Structure 1
Amino acid sequence: MSIAFLATALIAVATPGTGVVYTLSAALSRGRRASVVAAAGCTLGIVPHVVTTITGLAALLHASALAFQVLKYLGVGYLLWMAWATLRDREAIVVRADGAPRSAVKVIVTGVLINILNPKLTVFFLAFLPQFVDADAPGALPRMLELSGVFMLLTFVVFVAYGVLAAAVRTHVLSRPRVMAWIRRVFAVSFVALGARLALT
């Protein structure tokens, strides 16, 4: 495993995006356990991108402007829906003293959808993995799976770290509803900004 791969993957994972915002939201609203579950969901959402890249479907998305645009705007629409839902539902991001859990399945499904509807991940794998894999080598497929697995592991570890840090400060906002109202607005704006950036890709 090259240092160049690890460094590049770590930078890509640690850069705040939709998965990070969602994990932070889960941490602040439901605590550490929810943030870990959210991180797991976001990580699982990478699997379809790995599969499409390895099977060559990513090349089709890359070559077909229509296919890419459809996937891209599905992602934009979902992010805008997340922003609207965050502002509309006052229960979307609310700190509870008892840490009442949201269904783990719902948290995971939302995390998976967030990353499935992110075409930048597919493009990232298409442009990123080939730089570290010799396509003519007999072990090219296992190598791609290995690198993808490392990328997913880094994603999970970094997202959990984000979530744990956010969960550590949630007790400081238990009695500050106005703070949570502003946090909800910040998350909504973040989803809109990420959607706009994706639309301009």
Structure 2
Amino acid sequence: MFGHALGITDIWTYVFGVIFIILLPGPNSMYVLSLAAQRGVKAGYRAACGVFVGDTVLMVLSAAGVASLLKANPLLFSVVKYGGAAYLLYIGIGMLRGAWSKLRARGDAPVEAPQADDGERSFDRPFRKALIVSLLNPKAILFFISFFIQFVDPAFPHPALSFVVLGAIAQCASFLYLSTLIFAGARLAEHFRRRRKLAAGAASSVGGLFIGFSVKLALATMS
């Protein structure tokens, strides 16, 4: 009844679908988890805020018709796609370099506790990186419009309201999931600080994942 009143045809199917999709590993969730493990809860939530803002922008763009523009303009799609792939590759290589620096240090000496994000100079860096990762993914825009539209009643007079509700549900699920990752990552942080090799191994694994995400995005098509 609640869903139909807002122009949503099958709200519970949508909710379960969103949960399943959010649980799939991707660059956003991996970045938030790795950042929380390395720099704590505050940095994790800054990155999560970047994800929320980026996803909100993509949802608005989807509803505004940008998905159709991307489909009609393969060049624009490719520019955004390769820009996103290059940025994911940049992050992955940065993580691998950081892991190599840890391995070059002496044995399992403790890793120094992170400073307050290297001062005010880099206060917004987790937010900015997560925001860019979110925005430079044209497949996400196409996904949002193709997934949301299945649950919007075509006879409902205010489809924009339906999109807002669907987006809010997705963001709530994302917030709960990312919060779980942040606190799980923060618990791992203490182990990483005591074991330099373990920290290096974890960082190199996540760096490799980001390089994989980069390749996957670079090979993505509009279909």
Under a length normalisation based on structure 1, what TM-score does the superposition of the two structures give? Answer: 0.91
Q: Aligned partners of 2:13 and 2:132: how far apart in 1?
A: 30
CA-CA distance at 1:82 after TM superposition:
0.7
Largest Rg, 1 or 2: 2
CA contact (8 A) 1:32 1:167 kept: yes
CA-CA distance at 1:154 after TM superposition:
1.4
Instruction: Determine whether 1:189 maps to 2:189.
Output: no
1:52-201 pair list within 5 angstroms: 52-89=61-98, 96-97=112-113, 99-102=114-117, 103-201=122-220
Q: Secondary structure at the match of 2:194?
A: coil
Instruction: State the Cα deviation string for residues 118-149 of structure 1 (Å, max 9, x = none).
Output: 12211111210100112342121111011112
Letter in 1 for 2:179: V
Percentage of matched positions with identical amino acids: 28
List alignment gaps of at least 5 residues for structure 2: 4-10, 103-109
Which residue of structure 2 lines up, in the alignment, with residue 32 of structure 1? 41
Q: How many residues align?
A: 200
Letter in 1 for 2:208: V
Q: Which moved more, 1:174-183 or 1:62-71?
A: 62-71
Q: Aligned partners of 2:96 and 2:174: how far apart in 1?
A: 27
Letter in 1 for 2:88: L
Q: Tell me which of 4, 12, 16 is aligned to 1:7.
A: 16
CA contact (8 A) 2:81 2:218 kept: yes
CA-CA distance at 1:95 after TM superposition:
5.8
CA-CA distance at 1:44 after TM superposition:
0.9
List alignment gaps of at least 5 residues for structure 1: none
Considering only aligned residues, what root-mean-square deviation do their CA atoms show, in Å? 2.1
